[in-house]
Amino acid sequence: MTVAIWKSGILSDKHEKSKKEVINYFHLNSSTVSDDFLLKKIHLKRLREPLPDCCVSYLFETYMAGSDLRFFNEFLWLSQNRDRYLKALSHFKNQVNQSGFYKYCYDGHLEQCLKFEEELKTVVKDDFSDTSVGLIGTPLHFISAYFKFKGLGISTDIINVKYHKNRKFDLVLNNKLTSLIYRLIFGRKRYFEIDIVDKGELKDIILPKKYDIGFHKLTFIISESLIDQFRKGLINDHWGTLPLFKGRSTLAYSKLFGANLMVTNHLVRPEIDSGDIICFTTLNNKRIKRDIYLGLGDRVVKSVGLLASNRIIQDLDNTEGKIFYEMHPWLLNYIKKNV
């Protein structure tokens, strides 16, 4: 019934009207602003302050018109109107199949991302040649990778950027005792620290030296100047299949769409999750967290070796895809009970 109404133009008119109201609210000039852009604006502003009903109405009408799950998710964070809420829930239920999976609703050529599988690739010492490697972020993540590189005879530095946006985590992770432990594990010649006093310093980080390849586990937005300090690139460990699933909660969205669960290693670019894809690694649905954390060392070595030997994936455009935002608890609960 909803699709028929939309095709007749009724829901489309409501969507366009609500869209114009949101454009005016954000004081935007162009009437051709994309729905993706407005979704991002609403999401970011929601994190800072309450939003007027025109934004909630726009999310509702856009979801009802096109069934884009991302708009339903954002609507759930803001909805206070019971009538709209029940209509949106009913629409959601009409979009799921007997297995509980949500109907795919994005670009047709990206649907293949739901069924990507890991291409088994191995790396050996010769793949690295004379590559200099820097592992940057919380050193705890890199203990396994460091010793795997050491076993291959690859010289690897650990760069601890001593900053975490959560003050409590920062105190636990970055203190004299942890510094001492890391120096004992990695050795003084291979372990470096960068002290961050103020958040503003993050955009001006200077590494102790330039590296060919880096792999990061950082908790902040990475500046272009930091990316440029790695000659061949800085690698990210993205939990989800690119190019489709960008952003946050991507494994949860993958589950909801019935996609294979994957980690994508790709190069970092200023745009979110958009750099060249190096490789995919399959996650076991029954031990996701174990595979993510205990498998990190293998993914670091594999992705660095593939990049060093120029064996990245050439036929995927990672500038495409959709940006997803933190999943609402209602959807997380739905997945837990039904998928």
Write phi, then psi, for 211 (nearest 5 degrees).
-120, 160
pLDDT tens per residue across span 279-298? 999 999 999 999 999 999 99
Q: How far apart are CA 137 and CA 132, in angstroms?
A: 17
User: What pLDDT does 11 receive?
Assistant: 56
SS (HEC) of 182-240: HHHHHCCCCEEEEECCCHHHHHHCCCCCCEEEEEEECCCCCCHHHHCCEEEEEEEEEEC
In the chain, domain spans: 2-95, 125-324
User: Which SS3 state, helix, strand or coil, does residue 102 take?
Assistant: strand
**Number of neighbours of residue 238 by Cβ within 10 angstroms:** 22
Quick: pLDDT tens for 217-239.
998 899 999 999 999 999 999 99
SS3 state of residue 281:
strand
Residue 168 has pLDDT above 80, yes or no: no
Q: At what angle do helices 10-25 and 53-66 cross, to 10 degrees?
A: 140
Report angle CA 2, 4, 9 to the nearest 5 degrees.
100
6: pLDDT strictly greater than 50: no
- 296, 237 Cβ separation under 8 angstroms: yes
CATH class label, 125-324 = alpha beta
Contact 126, 308 (CB under 8 A): no
> Above 50 in pLDDT, residue 20?
yes
Q: In angstroms, what CA-CA distances link 134 with 81, 103, 234, 273, 326?
A: 51, 42, 9, 20, 30
